[in-house]
Structure 1
Amino acid sequence: MSVITVPQQTSTTRSSVWKHGVAAAAAAAAATTTVAAVASSAGVSFADRSGASIPVAAFTQLTLIFSLVGVALAAVLARKARRPRPTFVRTTVALTVLSLVPDATFGFDGASAATLMSLHVLAAAIVIPTLARRLA
């Protein structure tokens, strides 16, 4: 009878998830804010049908908040999941797809909706691979 051993996550691995995750969150926030500012200066309004517009600073805040939620998820999965990497990737890709729904349904014009969706994908493209590489 063979015994299968599962490598244990060390505190170094968990701290690596947090350290790299926070850095990825900051990079994603900077990237989304820069692209949003460029799009705004090019005429993208980020206003919904009620006329309420998303301020550029909100891109920084929301990207940081939701990226840090992803970092926390990765840290928990690193500790608790049998297969943390595929579980994290599947979960975060599904959440990214779900995050596109409001952009398509809240009454943004085509340019605003497309830009908002692109920003969600941009942030995910920075944060998800960075964290996935740190998971077993």
Structure 2
Amino acid sequence: MAVSANSSRSGAPLSGRRILVVEDEYFLADDISRALRLHGAEVAGPVGELDDALPVLNGGGVLDGAVLDVNIRSEMIFPIAHALRTRHVPFVFTTGYDKVSIAPEFRDVMLWEKPIDLTAMVRGLIELMGDRPA
């Protein structure tokens, strides 16, 4: 995992932000979560099944962003992505599949192919969230 040690908590770009991680590969979910925490984020999850992501979405807690694996245990993530888009929550996709597997309505979403450059993915999510209040 290539995450800069310079990303200290003080002045961390994701400080005060809650990010949902939906990833069914345990070690990758852990790496993504660790990278987000190094940049100051609070991680919701990680969750490895769509049914586990729904309570996080509907639990009333604020989500500032999300990292979504496109295929979770042979189920496509698009219902979760649609719910996030409806709520104006920025998100990025990760995938081990070809870009063609992305539903047309989500072709504009940043896609990170596995193996993921975690530092670049976190930077991309930070850019997406921009100046949105935490």
Normalising to structure 1: TM-score of the pair?
Answer: 0.25
Q: Which has the higher contact order (CA 8 A, sep 6+)?
A: 1
Normalising to structure 2: TM-score of the pair?
Answer: 0.25
Could you say which structure has the higher helix fraction?
A: 1
Larger Rg: 1
Could you say which structure has the higher strand fraction?
A: 2
